[in-house]
Chains A and B, each alone.
Chain A
Amino acid sequence: MFDENQPSLAANSANAIARVDDLKVYFNSKRGIVHSVDGVSFDIRDGETLGLVGETGCGKSVTGRSFLQLLPMPPGIQAGGSITFYPQGICEECGGKGCASCTGTGRTSVDCEACSGTGCDACGNNGAQQIDLLKLGSEKMRRIRGDRIAMIFQDPGKALNPSLTIREQVGEVFLQHRSEELLGAAGIATDAGGWQANILRRKASQMERGIEGLLLALPPLRSQRNKLELALDDMVADALTETQIANPRKLMGRYPHELSGGMRQRVMIAQALACNPDLLIADEPTTALDVTVQARILELISELKERHKTSVLYISHDLSLVRRICDRVAVMYAGRIAEIGTTEQIFNDPRHPYTRGLLAAVPTAASKRGELAAIKGSVPELVDPKPSCRFTGRCLFETEACGTFDPALQNVAPNHAVSCFIHHPPPEGARPSFDTKTS
């Protein structure tokens, strides 16, 4: 199923952090099965920022959430495809400075657990650890969430728990993924036995139950608990400082509603990058913020990304933002990738009529805001769609093949692929649309 004609997949797995392959996510609804993501394939290269743009309801958020199994099932259905994740570690050679062995990224792929790097079926014989995120068991997934792959949500106001303090919320990340460090800081050996150590260990990973909370507040556990808390405070404070929050200690005790939108988003980001993950999924992180704040948050993200060598999947409906921070852009339409390529290619040489429409929609003196010069009509319903280009009916260059076949994503230039019959001929005969790839 690996396909040369799929440039987005052509990049060799060594420097891909994640690969989405023919992802299909459907939803049961009263009206029928909604194909909100229907065969999406792309990959995210290590260290890059990939923009995923599309209208509301085109499936970009669903794609993003699929990485962390955050979609409710049911009603959601995992209809097929895979998301492969290649965890990365700091390069032993250069300790992250960047050298030949790690092609300057300062990072190397983690060795496959199955074969410890020698190569086996599990890792497609390239020795790199790879994880199928969709098939991952809940406990394994839990360990990845927030640690290796983190997520920023659209509205920080909603994404922060109103009844927990900032400290409690950011702290949770460490308690979940950094309990060993915490215990170390509290002066408890990892192998220490005894009920006290056990209670503290549970405390350090939010496992304490019933009266243990009370016990911790009393001697002899009290002092160690306080040490633990202090260590946690430090970690939280550092994380907040990262996001350029002026006086983190003061802010830690506050509740989300006491902060400005920008501050909240900073907290979210701090929380996301706390364990400096390999991949950050930013789902419209600035939509809920006003313009001036947007700018700063964007800078922050890109800056942190550089520092932490984190790859970013930046989901947005706002082209201008994407243009500013992304290395590559994938344009989604109605559950499909319409076009994917480098930022330059997409913005200077758009091939898909839809992409063009979008760009044309950039307001000019002539066009009223909120109206699209180029695109008439509106997004089709994605209930049990028949095989055809999803853009039919709105497309200016529509052929009747568009109504019967489903254009596949194919190269038009290096790194630049489009799914449209304008750029590659429609298949002969009434073969199932997905075979068109191989033609």
Chain B
Amino acid sequence: MQLRDYIIRRLIVLPILIIGVSIVVFSLTRISGSPVGIYLSHEMSPAEVQQIEARYGLDKPLPVQYYAWAKGVLQGDLGWSGVAAAPVTEVFPNKLAATMELAFSAGFVAVSLGIWLGTFAGARRNRWPDHITRIVAVSGASLPLFWLGILLLIIFWANLGWAPIGRSDATIWASIAHPTGLYTVDALLAGNLKAFGDAVWHLALPALTLGYGATAIIARMMRSSLVEELQQDYVDAARAKGLPERLVLRRHARRNALIPTVTVIGLTFGFLLQGTITAEIIFRWPGLGRWMADSVLRGDQATIMTYVLFTSVLFLMVNLVVDVIYAHLDRRVVLGG
């Protein structure tokens, strides 16, 4: 079974990559010198600075610091975030939930819309729906996410006042419990439709902004692979069997066109992850990305390390899963090993 070997091979490489990443990340945050800055307030004497460095073990040699950090990571101690004024692990879950809620809703929009759009266009190749889709695709790849977000804010928030920013209305937020940290889910669990509406309402613009680019990517891929599949013999064969176009498209062409699209969805995930940074800045979304940006500006190395490491691991995982799904879906691949 090539598939199993393939997965195993990947699983062996994975930890090596993660270690590699962790080293890169660590050295990144250290090359610039000691990350003590975030723990300092102004007007501190060098003696006081040394005290602080000692407190966070920043006076030890780098290998020791790396070991300590790596050990901490494995034991779930990610250090103290100066930006959040709390241990990273304490703030992380909520922010993660916020980011995931945003990323996944955007991803959901992107995948469903992208596939639909791609199919719609691919099936009507070189007719106007196709051209429109291509415009969407190209513009989606070129539109600066942060600019799109700002334009939407200018229109719907500042001028029309239709859309809110942030993640929820503080009073409504306080009105329900938050077991999952995903406000939409929490609201549903609480059976509170008002809260759910509020959550969705706050989610709409950011998700749209974030999803646009991804939609474009997926739609583009879906379209081209569908066009390719439609040129395959088996499509004619299906027609020759007397299948109606609807089935030729859905049952035969689209099914196979989806396979290459899956890989793109994997990449799109990375795209979404990156996108959350700017999207969260613009829409005041209390997630990881915003935290990261904040930490970058204020030199909160503990957070930066956590974020970069976490996202890359996530990214690696997702891509592994996607590849496996791909290999599983596309029997020709398995055949070819």
Contact = CB atoms under 8 A, between A and B. Distances in A.
Direct contact of A and B (CB under 8 A): yes
Residue with the highest number of chain B CB atoms closer than 10 Å, among A146, A147, A255: A146
List the 6 closest A-B pairs by CB distance, nearest first.
A146-B242, A145-B242, A158-B233, A146-B241, A151-B240, A159-B237
B236 A163 contact: no
Contact of A163 (B245, B256, B335): B256
Residue with the highest number of chain B CB atoms closer than 10 Å, among A70, A147, A155: A70
A23 B236 CA distance: 21
B42 to A, nearest CB: 64
Interface string A156-170: 001111111000000
B255 A163 contact: yes
Interface string B218-240: 00000000000000111011111
A421 interface: no
B329 interface: yes
Interface in A329-388: none
Nearest to A174: B241
A157 to B, nearest CB: 9
Residue with the highest number of chain B CB atoms closer than 10 Å, among A150, A155, A162, A256: A162
8 contacts: A145-B239, A145-B242, A146-B240, A147-B242, A161-B255, A163-B331, A172-B243, A206-B247
B242 A173 contact: yes
Contact of B236 (A153, A173, A206): A153
Residue with the highest number of chain B CB atoms closer than 10 Å, among A65, A138, A142, A143: A142
A162 B233 CA distance: 11
B9 interface: no
Contact of A257 (B234, B237, B247, B335): B335
Interface in B239-286: 239-245, 247, 251-252, 255-256, 259
Interface of B: 232-234, 236-245, 247, 251-252, 255-256, 259, 329-332, 334-335
Contact of A176 (B232, B241, B252, B335): B241
A419 interface: no
A144 interface: yes
Interface in A53-97: 65, 68, 70
B295 to A, nearest CB: 46
A158 B240 contact: no
A142 B247 contact: no
Nearest to B259: A163
Chain A's interface size range is 20 to 34
Interface of A: 65, 68, 70, 138, 142-147, 150-151, 153-155, 158-164, 172-173, 176-177, 206, 255-257, 268, 271-272
Given A163-B255, A257-B332, A158 B234 contact: yes
Contact of A173 (B233, B241, B330, B335): B241
Contact of A177 (B233, B240, B242, B330): B242
A272 B233 CA distance: 15
Chain B residues touching A, majority SS = helix
Contacts of B251: 164, 206
B256 A162 contact: yes
B244 A142 contact: yes
A256 B334 CA distance: 13
B233 A159 contact: yes
Given A142-B242, A145-B242, A159 B234 contact: yes
B247 A153 contact: no
A161 B330 CA distance: 11
Contacts of B241: 145-146, 150, 172-173, 176, 271
A290 B43 CA distance: 85
Contacts of B334: 257
Contacts of A268: 237
Contacts of B232: 158
A276 to B, nearest CB: 14
Given A158-B234, A161-B252, A162-B256, A145 B331 contact: no
Contacts of B239: 68, 70, 145
B262 to A, nearest CB: 12
A206 B241 CA distance: 13
A161 B240 contact: no
Contacts of B329: 163
Given A161-B256, A162-B256, A163-B256, A70 B242 contact: no
Given A153-B233, A257-B335, A161 B242 contact: no
A176 B242 contact: yes
Given A70-B239, A257-B331, A161 B244 contact: no
Contacts of A155: 233
B45 to A, nearest CB: 70
B312 to A, nearest CB: 32
A162 B331 contact: yes
A70 B240 contact: yes
Nearest to B334: A257
Given A70-B240, A142-B244, A161-B252, 20 more contacts: A70-B239, A142-B243, A143-B242, A150-B241, A153-B236, A154-B233, A158-B232, A160-B234, A162-B332, A163-B255, A163-B330, A164-B252, A164-B255, A172-B238, A172-B247, A173-B242, A176-B241, A176-B242, A206-B243, A257-B335
Contacts of A159: 233-234, 236-237
B193 to A, nearest CB: 25
A268 B232 CA distance: 15
A164 B255 CA distance: 9
A159 B256 CA distance: 13
A157 B319 CA distance: 30
A254 to B, nearest CB: 10
Contacts of A255: 331
B190 to A, nearest CB: 29
Contacts of A145: 239-242
Nearest to B336: A257
Contacts of B245: 138
A143 B243 CA distance: 9
Nearest to A168: B251
Contacts of B242: 142-147, 173, 176-177
